[in-house]
Amino acid sequence: MKRLMIALAIPALLAALVIASDVKLEGVKCIVSGEPAVASSSAAYKDGKVYFCCKDCIKGFTANTAKYATKANHHLVATGQAKQANCPISGEPIAQDKSLELNGAKVYFCCDKCKTAVAKATGDEQMNMVFGEAAWKKAGFKVGS
């Protein structure tokens, strides 16, 4: 029985390692503490994973996911798990030459007007403009394939 359990656990562990290896964690911070995120501490979010510095931060996130939604959305883009279809400001198709990097996440816009509006904003306002729930939907971000 023990051998069967081990035999079943190995493929699951290998699959988790393959998924984790595709995620870019260099420079990515825990959305709860701000400490460096690690592959061994993660929680499922929007068909992807959000990475944390420790298990305690996972508990904080799962207890109040709405509080961390904007940061978690940013996290999915910064780790390469989410792909964008439209401008988060206008909802129009993106132009590949209209982009900004926001805290390690490359985001595209439809035009210079939208790009400039985000570039002029700072802090939480800028993050909400691009990664808030309304902007996330407008931009058509998709996690996974």
Residue 47 sits in the same domain as residue 87: no
* pLDDT for position 95: 96
Q: Cβ atoms within 10 A of the Cβ of 97, count?
A: 9
Per-residue pLDDT reduced to its tens digit, 69-90? 999 999 999 999 999 999 999 9
CA distance 108 to 17: 30
Q: Is 41 helix (H, G, I), strand (E, B) or coil?
A: strand
Distances in Å between the alpha carbon of 119 and those of 30, 33, 45, 63, 122? Answer: 24, 26, 27, 32, 8
| pTM above threshold 0.95 | no
Residue 119 lies in a domain: yes
Residue 15 included in any domain: no
pLDDT tens digit string along 20-66?
A: 446 788 889 999 999 999 999 999 999 999 999 999 999 999 999 99
Q: List the Cα angle 138/142/143 in 5-degree steps.
A: 145
Q: Domain range for residue 90?
A: 83-143
